[in-house]
Amino acid sequence: MLFNTASHSTDHTAQEDIMTTTVGVIGLGNMGGGMAATLARHAFPVFGFDLSEAAREKAAAAGVTPATSLAELFDHVDVVIISLPKAEHVETLCLGKAGTEADTLMTLGAPGLIVIDTTTSTPETSRKVAAALATRGIDFIDAPVSGGPKGAATGSMSMVIGAEDDVLARAMPVLEAMSGTRVHVGSCGAGNVAKIANNMLAACHLISTAEAVSMAARAGVSPEKLLEGLNAGSGRSGATQVMFPSWVINKAYDSGFSMGLMRKDVGLASDLTARLGMELPLSATVAQLWDDSSATLDDSEDFCAIVQRTDPTLYGHGE
Ligand code: NAD
């Protein structure tokens, strides 16, 4: 069943859209698992697929029907949400790999299907996949997200969206159910440009805040009091308002966003900068610091652990 494109101006209501629109979520990890559960809570029929059986079982416990293959999932769905680690996973899922014959979204998806890719990917991948799928009558939106696993599980994430207006309007009931804020930044690919810029800043703010908090601690001001001051002043950011209070100062380091994924995003920013022929000295230094951190911090660690490189005594686990 497809969305009525004029659902808000006719007698066809948003609730009817929900009841008649079946959603498939591919990638049921920290983010995709929460998105699938949120959509199920909103009464969408939701099918989920993940290579990991544990992820499928966790989603099933949250009201999602687990599919054991892509073919099974595509038998049912009108809208597909993708939440995979990297751009290359999205491209392989959608278009396959040269020389292999595996099922893909391109071969299994029916004309009229809407694909919402929430992966932090590259604008080039989004545009390439969208152009190929368009030849089959399938629409593709890039809608990368912020807000972490908690935002995905509560439907309060924010999205930066690259899409044509008409496709966005058709996808809106699903997007509204899974996010609190949506910013339409341009056509396909623009969402990932905006997300890469966002994470370039987050990567920078985490380290610059670690340096400022460490400096102030040595000068006799406690981290807690300093953060209160910063958050009342012009030095505030996502690092001072969310990351430090939630995951650093309490040494929890359990944000649900891995070091490996943040290093990937910092790499996406460096690649985009290089492709544009730009030199950005501050960003280049920050990228080098994230790269160097692999000497002591594994990809599986929490991304906030980067601050331990600035001041191991202040930010270490204390073990
Ligand atoms: P994750 O590693 O927790 O989940 C990814 C899931 O994809 C895993 O369950 C894995 O088994 C599954 N998977 C991998 N390849 C697959 C395939 N071919 N088919 C089906 N399933 C497959 O990652 P995450 O933290 O949920 O992040 C997903 C995306 O969201 C990434 O691009 C990340 O950068 C972005 N993101 C994450 C956060 C966060 O706080 N975790 C926040 C914003 C954006």
Domain of residue 115: give its range: 12-187
**Residue 274: alpha-carbon gap to chain centroid:** 23
Taking the CA atoms of residue 125, residue 127, residue 129 and residue 132 in that order, the dihedral angle to the nearest 10 degrees is -150
**Which of 138, 165, 187 marks a domain boundary?**
187
CATH code, domain with 36: 3.40.50.720
Residue 145 contacts residue 121 (beta carbons within 8 Å)? no
Whether ligand 1 lies within 6 angstroms of the CB of 192 is answered as no
- Does 2 map to a domain? no
Among residues 58, 86, 128, 195, which one is catalytic? 195
* Residue 168 and residue 41 share a domain: yes
DSSP string, 226-278: HHHHHHTSTT--HIIIIIIIIIITT-----S-BHHHHHHHHHHHHHHHHHTT-
- Does 110 map to a domain? yes
Whether ligand 1 lies within 6 angstroms of the CB of 157 is answered as no
- Does 5 map to a domain? no
Scanning the structure block, which residue is given the tokens 């099974």? Answer: 72
Whether ligand 1 lies within 6 angstroms of the CB of 48 is answered as no
- Give 240-284 pLDDT, tens digit per residue: 999 999 999 999 999 999 999 999 999 999 999 999 999 999 999
CA of 36 to the centre of ligand 1 (A): 13
251 catalytic, yes or no? no
Scanning the structure block, which residue is given the tokens 């808000």? Answer: 8
In ligand 1, the atom with minimum distance to the C-alpha of 32 is 26
**Which of 187, 217, 236 marks a domain boundary?**
187
Using DSSP's 3-state secondary structure scheme, residue 302 falls into strand
CATH code, domain with 236: 1.10.1040.10
Q: Residues with Cβ < 8 Å from 35, sequence gap 6 or more?
A: 25, 81, 83, 118, 152, 157, 178
* Residue 107 and residue 29 share a domain: yes
Whether ligand 1 lies within 6 angstroms of the CB of 257 is answered as yes
pLDDT per residue rounded down to tens, the chain (319 residues): 444 444 444 455 666 666 689 999 999 999 999 999 999 999 999 999 999 999 999 999 999 999 999 999 999 999 999 999 999 999 999 999 988 888 999 999 999 999 999 999 999 999 999 999 999 999 999 999 999 999 999 999 999 999 999 999 999 999 999 999 999 999 999 999 999 999 999 999 999 999 999 999 999 999 999 999 999 999 999 999 999 999 999 999 999 999 999 999 999 999 999 999 999 999 999 999 999 999 999 999 999 999 999 999 999 974 4
Task: Report the amino acid identity of residue 319.
Answer: E
Task: Report the amino acid identity of residue 74.
Answer: F
* Residue 266 and residue 246 share a domain: yes
- Give 31-77 pLDDT, tens digit per residue: 999 999 999 999 999 999 999 999 999 999 999 999 999 999 999 99
For residues 174 and 172, what is the distance between their CA atoms, to the nearest angstrom?
A: 5
At residue 100, the pLDDT reads 85
Per the document, the length of the chain is: 319
Whether ligand 1 lies within 6 angstroms of the CB of 29 is answered as yes
* Residue 203 and residue 178 share a domain: no
* Residue 52 and residue 179 share a domain: yes
* Residue 220 and residue 138 share a domain: no
Q: What angle do CA 175, 177, 182 make, to 5 degrees?
A: 45
Average pLDDT, the chain: 94
For residues 85 and 92, what is the distance between their CA atoms, to the nearest angstrom?
A: 12
* Residue 226 and residue 259 share a domain: yes
* Residue 181 and residue 206 share a domain: no
**Which of 187, 203, 235 marks a domain boundary?**
187
Alpha carbon of 267 to those of 28, 201, 210, 255, 286: distances in Å? 24, 13, 21, 20, 11
Scanning the structure block, which residue is given the tokens 């009464």? Answer: 43
- Does 133 map to a domain? yes
* Residue 35 and residue 135 share a domain: yes
* Residue 233 and residue 96 share a domain: no
- Does 270 map to a domain? yes
* Residue 139 and residue 77 share a domain: yes
* Residue 161 and residue 204 share a domain: no
CA of 88 to the centre of ligand 1 (A): 12
Where are the alpha helices (H) located in the chain, listed in sequence order? 14-20, 32-41, 53-61, 70-74, 87-95, 105-108, 123-134, 148-154, 165-178, 190-218, 223-231, 238, 259-275, 281-292, 312-315
Residue 250 φ then ψ, to 5°: -85, 0
Biggest CA–CA distance in the chain, Å, is: 65
Pocket test for ligand 1, best of 80, 84, 119 (most atoms within 8 A of CB): 84
Number of domains within the chain = 2
